[in-house]
Structure 1
Amino acid sequence: MRIEDYALVGDMQSAALIGRNGSIDWLCLPRFDSPACFAALLGDENNGSWRIGPVGGPPATRRRYRGDTLILESEWDAPGGTVRLIDFMPARHPHPDVVRIVEGVRGTVDVETVIRVRFDYGRIVPWVRRIDGHLHAVGGPDSSWLHSPVPLHGEDYAHHAVFTVREGDRLPFVFTWHPSHEPMPPMIDPEEQLAQTEAMWIEWASRCTYQGPWREAVMRSLITLKALTYAPTGGIVAAPTTSLPEDIGGVRNWDYRYCWLRDATMTLDALIGSGYLQEAADWRAWLLRAIAGRARDLQIMYGVAGERRLPEMEVDWLPGYEGSRPVRIGNGAVHQLQLDVYGEVLNSLYLSRESGLGADDRAWSIQRQLMDYVEKHWDEPDEGLWEVRGPRRHFVHSKVMCWVAADRAIAYVERFGRKGPVERWRALRERIHADVCAKGYDPERNTFTQSYGSRELDAALLLIPLVGFLPPDDPRVIGTIAAVERELMQDGFILRYPVHEGDNLDGLPGGEGAFLACSFWLAEAMALTGRRKEAVELFERLLSLRNDVGLLAEEYDPKAGRMVGNFPQAFSHVPLIRTAQALSRTVPSAALACGAADRRP
C-alpha cells in the first residue's frame, strides 16, 4: 500500500500503522523505538502483520477517526452487508494493548483474520502455543497474547480464522505485549477500554483554544502530535516509523523514532499556541533531564527517555519499503553540530514561560550554559537544519537561530527579572545580525543565501521573518521570499534546497520529494507579508494532500502524486497548525513564536 493508505493508532508510548485493508503493518513495542513485532511495512506479511477484514482483503470502503479521538473506524460494504472494524490502543494496564472490535452494521459478512507475529523487526518467528483458549507467542525477550472469542488455527507460521459477522455482533480481539519472563498480564475489558479511551481523547481535545475556519485540520494535527508524545517522560518523537524513503527505491531512509530537539520545540510551540500548557511542562522536565550536564555535550536528538547513544545500523533482512534499501535502525546524525538547535530550545523555553509556565531555577541555569556555548561557537560552520553528511558550512539559518538564542535570552532577563550578562548578549545579538546581513545576503539578487559565499537558496530562509530576525516588510525579506518561490518551487511545492543529480547537499545520490514543511513556511510567510489570498490558496492546496484521515508524511512527490518519507511526520503537522493560526489571526501578526522580536537591534 502507499504510505497515505495507512492510519495511526497509539497510546502515547508507541503507535501502530493500519492499512486500508485492515492490516497492522507496523508496531514497535513497548516503545516507539523498540524492535517491531509487525514489520510488513518494510517488507511483506511474512515480516509480521495482522489483518482483519472481509475475505479476500479488499480495501475499506471508507474510514474515519471517531470524532476528536485516535479511535479508527474502517467500514467495508460487502455484497451481503456492511462490517466495521474499530481499532485503538488504550492506556497501559501496565502493558501495551491493541484492541480491535469487529462490528456487524448491516446484513452478514464473512470476515477473515490472519496474524503473523514476528519479533525483532520481522526476524524472529516466535514459539506459539494455546493456553486456556488464548494464543501465547514467545521469542527471546518478547512475549504476546491474543485474546478473542473467535477460535484461530495455526498454519504456515501464522494463525487464521474465517467467521461470519451479523448485524449487531461485536467480536473483540485484544493483542497484549509483555516481557517474556513475566507471567500473563491481566486481561482487559475491550468495551470498557473503548469508552475510557474515547472519553480521554474528547476531554483532551476540548481544551484546544483554536476556533478558526480550519479547526478540523488543526485538531487532527494536534491529536497526531499528542500521539507522538512519549507520556512517561514528555519526550516527543519526530515520527513513529523508520526508513520510509524520501525517494522510492532510494537510500534516504532514516530512523525518525527519536526526540529531535528542533522538532520537539516546534511541536511544543504549536501545542502552547493551542492552549496545551501541560505538555510544555512535561517537555521542559524531559529536556532538563536529557541535556543535564555540560552545554557543550548538547545533542540534536535523544531517545524517548533521554538516551544519548543511538548507534545507526542497517537491518539487512528487511527489503525496505518498495525495495528502498537500506533499512536503518538508530541515527548517526545524533553527533552532528547543528547550531540552530540552541535557538530553538531557548525560544521554546521563553515561550513556555511567557505562556504561564512557572519559573524554574534549573531551567534558567541551563539556558545560561547554552548561551555560553553560543557565544563561543556561533561563528563556526555546522551541518545545519538538513543534517548534511558532508563538509560543514556557515549556514545562514543556523546563524539566524543563534541570533534567536541571544534575543530570547535577553528577553528572558528583561521580562522575568532573571540575572545574566544582558549587555554582553546584546552586543552578541548585534554582532550576529550584522554578520548574517553582510555575509549571508546577496545584494545583486536581493536575497539571503543558503550559506556564506553560496549563491544557492534554502527554504529555511523563509523562517527569517517568522522568528523575528527581520520584520516581514523588510525589502530583504520580500526579496528572499520571491527568490525562494522562483528558484525552489517545483510543481507548485517548495524544495528544501536545490537538488542536483549526483551532487546533492547531503552527498547522496538520487532525488527526493518536496518537504511539506517548506511549503507551509511559504504560506505562513505570505500571510505575514500581506499576501493573504495567495497564502490561503497555497494552504488549502496543502491541506488537500492529507490522506482520508487527515495525516501527512514528511514529503510529497508531485510527479508520482504520492506521499514519501516517514509517517505521520510532526515536522509537517506543526507548520500546518502555525499557518492556520497565522491565517486565522489567533496569534500576533508579527513574527510567530517570537516573543522578543520588538527587542532586536
Structure 2
Amino acid sequence: MGEMASAPGAHVQSAAAPSPFPPIADYAFLSDCHTGALISPDGSVGWLCVPSFDSASVFGTLLDRQAGYFRIGPFGVHHPTARAYEPGTNVLITTWKTPSGWVEVREALTMGPSEDEDEVTPHSRPPADDDADHQLVRTMRCLEGSVEMELVCEPVFDYGRVPAEWTMVTDSGRHIADAHGAGQTIRLQTDLALGIEGDRVRARRTLTAGDEVYCSLSWQAGLASVPDVQEAGRRLSATVRFWRAWLDRARIPDHHWRDPIQRAALVVKGLTYMPTGATIAALTTSLPETPGGERNWDYRYTWMRDSTFTLQALHYLNLDWEADEFMQFVADLEPNEDGSLQIMYGIDGRRDLTESIRNDLSGYAGAHPVRIGNGAFDQRQNDVFGAVLDCILLHSRRSQRLPRRLWALVESQARCAEAVWREPDQGIWEARGKPQHYVSSKLMCWVALDRAAKLADIRSDAELVSRWRATAEEIKQDILTNGLTDAGVLRQHYETDSLDASALLAAIFGFLPHDDPRLRATVDAIADELTEDGFVLRYRTDETDDGLSGREGSFLICSFWLVSALAITGAHQRARDLMERLLRVASPLGLYAEEFDVATGRHLGNFPQAFSHLALIEAAGRIIMAEFQQEFD
C-alpha cells in the first residue's frame, strides 16, 4: 500500500485536490470527555465512535464515503452561511440560508449533572459533578421564512463493516427507532416522523419562522433518550453551562491571544477521557500526513511523551484537578517487565494496541492504509522516562508534596534511564527504520536523571541525589561530545549532521542555559534550515531513514516549539512573528491538525491534535510571561 512512486513527470497528489472529502480543518469538534464527533460543513457526522474515543466508528465518512452517514439540515443545501462555537464551549451553532428562509442548527455531545453510576464507560476516578449523557443532541430552529429540513441517519457499525438493522419502537408514533449491528444498539429519537428505508431512516418537514424540532442519538444505558424539543434545549443549555463553568476555573491571561488559548484549552479538555483521566493524542485514526500516502496512524491513545506537555499546559492554566487526574492515570499504568513504561497506552490503561489494517475502507482521499491500533506501542523509545519524571516533578512542585504511590514510579523510571541511555532506539518520532543514537532520546534521559535527582532532594535522599546527578552530568557530556556538529549545532543522531526539530527540546527542558551559544546556534539553524516558508519540519524525509516513503508537511508542534525556543533564547520579536503566523493558519473554528501543508494552506494528519494545542498554550505562555517581565525591567 502507500503512495505511488513518483515517476518522472508524475504529479504528486495535492492536499487541495478536488475531492468528495471535505478539508480536514473544515470539521467541527464535539466532545463529552468520553468520545468525540467531527461535524462536516454540510451538517453530517463525519466521525463518531461509541461509547468511547477508541471504540469502533458508527459514522465514518471521514475515512470512507460509505462508512456511516448522519445529517440533519436543509434539503438540497450543503454549504452553510456561518458556523461557530457558542463562546467558551464545545457546542456548535450552524446557520443556513436557503432560497426560502433561514435556519439554525445547534448541536453537542451533551453533558449534565451526574446522578447514577456510569454503566456505559465505568469510572476508575471519582465521578465528577457533571458527566456525559452519552447522547448527540441536535435542534433545528427556523429563523425566517420557511425551510424544508431533512434528517438522514445511516450508521454502519464496526468501522463501516456492518450496516444497521433498524426497528421502529412500538407505540412511538414513528418518533423512535433503534439501529442494531455488531453487538451494539443506538437509539434515534425525534419529533419528526421517521421512515425506515433499508439500512437507514429518514424524515423531512418544512419549518416556518419560530418552529423548532430536535433529534437525539443515544447509546446510554437502557437507551434513555431525549423525549421532546424542550428537554433537548435544556440538555444543550446544561452542556453550555458545563463548558463555561469549567473554563471559569482556568487561568486565561487577559491578552489579545486569549481566544486561541481558550479554544486550545477546550480542545485539550475535550480530548480527555474522564473515566480514567487519560488524554488522547487526537480524535481520529489514519488521517494522512502525506496526501494520498501511507503515513497514516491511529492516534486515539495516550502517549507518555505527551505527559509533560499536558502537565505544563494544565498547571499553566491553573487546572490542577485535571493535572492530578492525569497523574493518577500514569501511576496506575502497568509497566514492562524491566519497570519501564510503554511509549503509549490505551485510554483504559491497556498495554496491547496491536495494529490491524482495514483494507475495506478507502481511506481519506485515497490515503492507504487505514490503521486500527498502533504498532509502535512496543517500540523502544528512551525519551519516555524523561517525560514521565518531568511531569512528576512539575506536579510535585505544584502540589508541594510527592505522593507515596508516585515514588516507586520515580525509582523505576530513573533506574531504566540509567540502564538504557547508552543504547540506540527509534527516537521521539517513532521511526520505523534502524535504531540510532538519537540526540533527543539522550536529552530526555538527561531530563529523567536531572528530574529524578530533584525529586530525590524533595525526599532528602542525599545518596540518590548524588548518584542521579552524576549520571545526568555523564549523559550531558556524552551529548556535547557526540551530538554536536562542527558548527556547534545539536544533530539528529550521532551518525549524521542532519537537523531534527526535537533538538528544540534542549531549550524547553533547560538542557543548556538560555544564552549558551550552542543552544542559540541550534535554534537558529532549525529556524533557518529546517523550515518551509517559516514553518518547521520534523526532519528532512530524504535525509532520515524512517521506514516510510513520501514527504510530509510541517509539524505544527515543532513550529510552536520553535516559538518557545526563540522566546527562551531572547529572540522575542521573531517568536511573536511566528506565533502570529501560526495563529492565522488555525482552522475556521480555531482548531489544529498535526501538520500544515505550506504549499496549499491545508491541514494534514489526525484532527484535532492535542500536541499542537498543548504546544500553542506553552508557546503563548512563554511570550506573555516575557512581555509581563519586560514591564518590570
Report the TM-score when normalising by structure 1. Answer: 0.94
Q: CA deviation at 1:264?
A: 3.4
What is the aligned counterpart of 1:185 among 221, 224, 233? 224
Aligned to 1:335: 378
1:465 and 2:507 correspond: yes
> Alignment partner of 2:256: what SS?
coil
Separation (CA, whole Å) in 2 of partners of 1:223 and 1:239:
13
Native 8 Å contact 2:218 2:225 kept in 1: no
Separation (CA, whole Å) in 1 of partners of 2:385 and 2:371:
27
Per-residue CA distance 1:532-588 (angstroms, 9 max, x = gap): 111111101101111111100000111122000000001111111011101100799
Separation (CA, whole Å) in 2 of partners of 1:354 and 1:435:
29
Within 5 Å, which residues of 2 pair with 1:29-44?
29-44=50-65
Separation (CA, whole Å) in 2 of partners of 1:138 and 1:81:
36
Q: Tell me: CA distance 1:183–1:535, structure 2 relative to 1, closer, same or farther (3 Å).
A: closer
Aligned to 2:441: 398
1:253 and 2:296 correspond: yes
What is the aligned counterpart of 1:215 among 258, 265, 271? 258
Aligned to 1:106: 144
Aligned to 1:195: 237
Per-residue CA distance 1:354-403 (angstroms, 9 max, x = gap): 11264311101211111111111111111111000111111101111111
Aligned to 1:127: 165
> Alignment partner of 1:447: what SS?
coil
What is the aligned counterpart of 1:73 among 93, 98, 104? 93
Aligned to 1:497: 539
Native 8 Å contact 1:462 1:481 kept in 2: yes
Q: Tell me: CA distance 1:400–1:39, structure 2 relative to 1, closer, same or farther (3 Å).
A: same
Native 8 Å contact 1:82 1:106 kept in 2: yes
Within 5 Å, which residues of 2 pair with 1:243-322?
243-291=286-334, 294-322=337-365
> Alignment partner of 1:469: what SS?
coil
Report the aligned-residue RMSD.
1.9
Q: CA deviation at 1:491?
A: 2.2
Of residues 389-398 and 482-491 in structure 1, the stretch that sits farther from structure 2 once superposed is 482-491
Per-residue CA distance 1:232-278 (angstroms, 9 max, x = gap): 00011000100000011000010000011112331222111110000
Q: CA deviation at 1:49?
A: 1.3
Aligned to 2:41: 20
Q: CA deviation at 1:210?
A: 2.4
Aligned to 2:403: 360
> Alignment partner of 1:40: what SS?
coil
1:553 and 2:581 correspond: no
> Alignment partner of 1:104: what SS?
strand
Of residues 339-348 and 579-588 in structure 1, the stretch that sits farther from structure 2 once superposed is 579-588
> Alignment partner of 1:85: what SS?
strand
Q: CA deviation at 1:523?
A: 1.2
In structure 2, give the amino acid aligned to 1:348. Answer: C
1:145 and 2:165 correspond: no
Aligned to 1:595: none
Q: CA deviation at 1:161?
A: 2.1
Of residues 240-249 and 444-453 in structure 1, the stretch that sits farther from structure 2 once superposed is 444-453
Per-residue CA distance 1:56-105 (angstroms, 9 max, x = gap): 24222111110101101111122222211111012387552100111222
Native 8 Å contact 2:104 2:143 kept in 1: yes
> Alignment partner of 2:507: what SS?
coil
> Alignment partner of 2:93: what SS?
strand
Q: CA deviation at 1:196?
A: 1.4
In structure 2, give the amino acid aligned to 1:572. Answer: S
Aligned to 1:530: 570
> Alignment partner of 2:110: what SS?
coil
Per-residue CA distance 1:472-509 (angstroms, 9 max, x = gap): 21000111112112321112211100121xx7431111
Separation (CA, whole Å) in 1 of partners of 2:179 and 2:356:
27
Q: Tell me: CA distance 1:519–1:377, structure 2 relative to 1, closer, same or farther (3 Å).
A: same
> Alignment partner of 1:195: what SS?
helix
Aligned to 1:516: 556
| Structure 2: gaps of 5 or more residues | 1-21, 121-133
Separation (CA, whole Å) in 2 of partners of 1:31 and 1:222:
20
Aligned to 2:580: 540
> Alignment partner of 2:219: what SS?
strand
Separation (CA, whole Å) in 1 of partners of 2:336 and 2:432:
27
Separation (CA, whole Å) in 1 of partners of 2:627 and 2:317:
10
In structure 2, give the amino acid aligned to 1:48. Answer: G
Native 8 Å contact 2:280 2:300 kept in 1: yes
Matched pairs, number: 583
Q: CA deviation at 1:110?
A: 1.6
Aligned to 2:199: 157
Per-residue CA distance 1:290-330 (angstroms, 9 max, x = gap): 13575534200000010000110001110000000110000
Native 8 Å contact 1:295 1:370 kept in 2: no
Aligned to 1:10: 31
Native 8 Å contact 2:386 2:445 kept in 1: yes
Q: Tell me: CA distance 1:449–1:270, structure 2 relative to 1, closer, same or farther (3 Å).
A: same
Q: Percent identity?
A: 39
Native 8 Å contact 1:281 1:357 kept in 2: no
| Structure 1: gaps of 5 or more residues | 591-601
What is the aligned counterpart of 1:449 among 487, 491, 508? 491
Separation (CA, whole Å) in 2 of partners of 1:67 and 1:83:
20
Aligned to 1:232: 275
> Alignment partner of 2:508: what SS?
coil
Report the TM-score when normalising by structure 2. Answer: 0.89
Aligned to 1:593: none
Separation (CA, whole Å) in 2 of partners of 1:538 and 1:110:
46
> Alignment partner of 1:138: what SS?
strand
Separation (CA, whole Å) in 2 of partners of 1:586 and 1:192:
43
Separation (CA, whole Å) in 1 of partners of 2:548 and 2:439:
22
Q: Tell me: CA distance 1:422–1:303, structure 2 relative to 1, closer, same or farther (3 Å).
A: same
> Alignment partner of 2:192: what SS?
coil
Separation (CA, whole Å) in 2 of partners of 1:416 and 1:549:
46
Of residues 406-415 and 280-289 in structure 1, the stretch that sits farther from structure 2 once superposed is 406-415
Native 8 Å contact 1:277 1:357 kept in 2: no
Separation (CA, whole Å) in 1 of partners of 2:225 and 2:256:
45
Native 8 Å contact 2:356 2:372 kept in 1: yes
Native 8 Å contact 2:585 2:601 kept in 1: no
Within 5 Å, which residues of 2 pair with 1:349-388?
349-356=392-399, 358-388=401-431
In structure 1, give the amino acid aligned to 2:144. Answer: R
Native 8 Å contact 2:425 2:438 kept in 1: yes
Native 8 Å contact 2:307 2:388 kept in 1: no
What is the aligned counterpart of 2:218 among 155, 162, 176? 176
> Alignment partner of 1:42: what SS?
coil
In structure 2, give the amino acid aligned to 1:424. Answer: R
Native 8 Å contact 2:187 2:225 kept in 1: no
